[in-house]
Amino acid sequence: MALEYRLTIARATTITDLAVRAFPDPAERPQGSPSLLVADLYDRYGFEVTIYAGQNGYRSAESDDGMWEWKPAEYISMSFRMDKTAHPSQTLPAMLAAVKRVLDSGAEDVALDLNGNWLLLTRVNGVITKHKRDGWWEVHGVVDPIIPA
């Protein structure tokens, strides 16, 4: 079973612009059609990235305070599908570095979830919240400095 981390961004940009923000190195950047971009980064980072845009979205996940729900009118979804054999010390820093580049280069509301079940991070109205989710950030302490509390 693979792990999938999904970053949802309230849409204020195009998927191509978001791909450039998240992956400034053209060799790593997802490619494809205007509606779907994909990059196979398994050899380099242990994951595949898929980016697509949508409308009338619905996201829900367990948060520190119970069930969290969000209904963005327009959104971009950036999914990181982790290779089941890759070690988190390889995959997570690279994935979170891409997430941080998105956060640093825009002001959109965002949500990061794990397998569509656990909410790990949100930015709403400019405020970043790291959800503890049973100690996920502490267990993977190597990634904590990438996105400060």
Q: 28-65, pLDDT tens digit by residue? A: 999 999 899 999 999 999 999 999 999 999 999 988 88
Q: What percent of the chain has pLDDT over 90?
A: 69
Instruction: Evaluate if residue 134 carries a pLDDT over 90.
Output: no
pLDDT of residue 90: 84
Q: How far apart are CA 16 and CA 21, in angstroms?
A: 9
Question: CATH no. for residue 115?
Answer: 3.30.310
pLDDT of residue 132: 74
pTM over 0.85: yes
Q: 63-81, pLDDT tens digit by residue? A: 888 899 999 999 999 999 9
- The total number of structural domains in the chain stands at 1
Cα angle: 29, vertex 31, 37; to 5 degrees: 105
Mean pLDDT of the 113-142 span: 82
pLDDT of residue 113: 95
pLDDT of residue 1: 67
**What is the span of the domain harbouring residue 16?**
3-146
Q: Is the dihedral of CA 110, 55, 71, 2 positive or negative?
A: negative
**122 touches 10 (CB < 8 A):** no
Task: Take residue 24 and report the two structure tokens written for it.
Answer: 């400034």
pLDDT of residue 84: 81
Instruction: Evaluate if residue 144 carries a pLDDT over 60.
Output: no
Mean pLDDT of the 19-36 span: 96
pLDDT tier, 11 (very low <50, low <70, confident <90, very high otherwise): confident
